[in-house]
Structure 1
Amino acid sequence: MLIASIVSTLPGMAQHARFVSEGVVEFEKKINMYAKVKKSIDKENEAYMSKYYDQFVKSQPQFLTVKSNLIFAADRSLYTPIPITVTAQNSMYGDPNNNQPNVVFTDFATRSSVLQKKVFEETYLIKDSIRPITWKLTGETREIAGYQCRRANGLMLDSIYVVAFYTDEITVSGGPESFGGLPGMILGVALPYENVTWFATQVSDKMVDKNLIKAPAKGKQMNNKDLMIRLNDLVKRWGDSAKRILNDYII
């Protein structure tokens, strides 16, 4: 009877112990547009931007929401935007986050990535190693899209504070955009000082066609260092208005 009881519980135990190595994650990205617009107010533009901000708050939703899909296998992943319809909400304020511009291919075997990014009117193809993020694991947990996730705090590009939630039930060390490097899939990311979050809304645990997980090919080729030189050049020419959105372009 004891043996029969143990055997009868094994299927349930196995179900809960299942680890996922390929599938599709749908991410929802939310940008706090009230905070973004308010940050753009300075001494030089305060007279008209304060009025603009008041009108924006009265007429527009606080959060702009865009979606992307992450298709992943054990050795690679591809993050692609889901096209959105241009509305007054996402055309009223010129923010690079608004049109969900990045396509990110990650090769976990070679620790490399290919990022297709549109900066103003130019499309770039950034080929480089996977972006390093310094992580510190915490004891905090939360459930995201049906998975129990653990919190990690991180620092990227020397100055951008990152809060992430990952699950080790998905064994791929990836996530939305270029976020990764944790012992499992990142299903939630928040950049508190950039006023933006990415959270998984759905995870499809299924076999995927690996031929679909391939790097983008269109764009002016460069590496991360070249991109920073290009962006800093724009900042020098365009001044404070460019500085405010610099982090949006390098994320």
Structure 2
Amino acid sequence: MRLRPIDLAREHGLSTQAIRNYEEAGILPPAERSPHGYRAYTLRHAAALRTFLALIPAHGHGTAGAIMRAVNGGAVEEALRLIDEGHAQLAGDRRTLEAVERALHDLALAPPPELEPGVTFIGPLARRLGIRPATLRKWQRAGLVVPRRDPRTGYRVYTPVDVRDVLLAHQLRRGGHGLEQIAQVLEQVRSAGGPEPLQATLREWRDRLTARGLAMLTAAAALGAYLGTPSA
């Protein structure tokens, strides 16, 4: 069965130029040409296009293209490695999300020690939390919480926002989380504008992870079908 570029394009609302671009990029296998130079596609090309479009929401446009080029080039192991990396990244994102949720839940159950309003210094903050000032300095070197310096004394000055982040970092460390993961959590908190607005962000984040996981299932089925499609 021979298909024209427009036949592939219409199924997905694409342009015929997009089909040609995908072929040139190696996302579709090379098409046969008629004596007049017209491209002749097959059901295998249609399957390749469906597979690529299914891979995009699962792994992103760039990785989806790399997977298809690997498959079309006979490097199936490379394609599988890229897919494995995508699953590993999704699993890591889930662990980070769960760490944020647990930390916020623990903070709600056990309110942090009362601190005086306004700014505070490293000594009083460390004493209130029952940790050493060296721990706070270590967190600063790791980029978790970087307080400003008093211009007159050079002492570290922790603002209320810094204190909030220190409390969250302290809770996460008690939960056994590493500094790199804590840094990701704090970035999420800052991006959301604080722990309270973060609740809605967490729900959206979980929804995105669920959607991506389901997209990976769909993409895997499409890729499996494509690998079983005859090459001619």
TM-score (norm 1): 0.21
Larger Rg: 2
Q: Which has the larger helix fraction? A: 2
Q: Which has the larger strand fraction? A: 1
